[in-house]
């Protein structure tokens, strides 16, 4: 019974995948309102100090966080468009791409602060399973 939820025609899976698109939308909106929230959200130490290089560092870091914002808003818009258009294949492929984003984010977090990669990579099994269901990977087991 549980695997039937992962069938490509499962309505609960379809609606859950649409609901999950609100996650990057929320993160993107939080970052859009105040990009510096990304420092706290990802446990990055914000650049500090009164020197001109620290001021430039803060400006650069904040602007780089806007890349995170635009990426999350784009991912949310793509998922919502696939959901509105009813394309399970597009939604599944978008979530597979999102798994790659989570892996890259975890790697970057480990490189930058030496920890917390799990906060990003913990989503990979969830997203890949959801994508696999939408793409019909589990049809023979259902």
pLDDT digits (tens, 9 = 90+) for 18-63: 999 999 999 899 888 988 777 777 777 777 777 777 778 778 888 8
Listed by start position, the domains of the chain span 2-141
Region label for 51, one of left (φ > 0), alpha (ψ between -120 and 50) or beta (otherwise): beta
Please state whether the predicted TM-score (pTM) of the whole model is above 0.75: yes
CA–CA separation, 129 and 138 (whole Å):
9
Classify each residue of 54-63 as buried b or exposed e, where b means 16 or more C-beta atoms within 10 Å of its C-beta: eeeebeebbe
Q: Can you say how many angstroms the Cα of residue 9 is from the centroid of all Cα atoms in its chain?
A: 24
């Amino acid at each position: 019974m549980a695997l039937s939820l992962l069938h490509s025609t499962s309505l609960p899976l379809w609606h859950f995948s649409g609901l999950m698109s609100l996650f990057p939308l929320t993160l993107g909106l939080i970052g859009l309102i105040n990009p510096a929230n990304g420092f706290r959200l990802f446990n990055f130490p914000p650049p500090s100090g009164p020197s001109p290089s620290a001021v430039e560092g803060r400006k650069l870091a904040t602007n780089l966080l806007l890349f995170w914002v635009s990426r999350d808003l784009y991912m949310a818009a793509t998922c919502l468009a696939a959901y509105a258009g009813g394309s399970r294949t597009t939604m599944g492929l978008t979530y597979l791409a999102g798994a790659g984003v989570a892996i890259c984010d975890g790697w970057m977090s480990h490189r930058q602060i030496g920890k917390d990669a799990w906060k990003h990579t913990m989503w990979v099994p969830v997203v890949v399973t959801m994508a696999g269901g939408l793409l019909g990977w589990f049809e023979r087991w259902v």
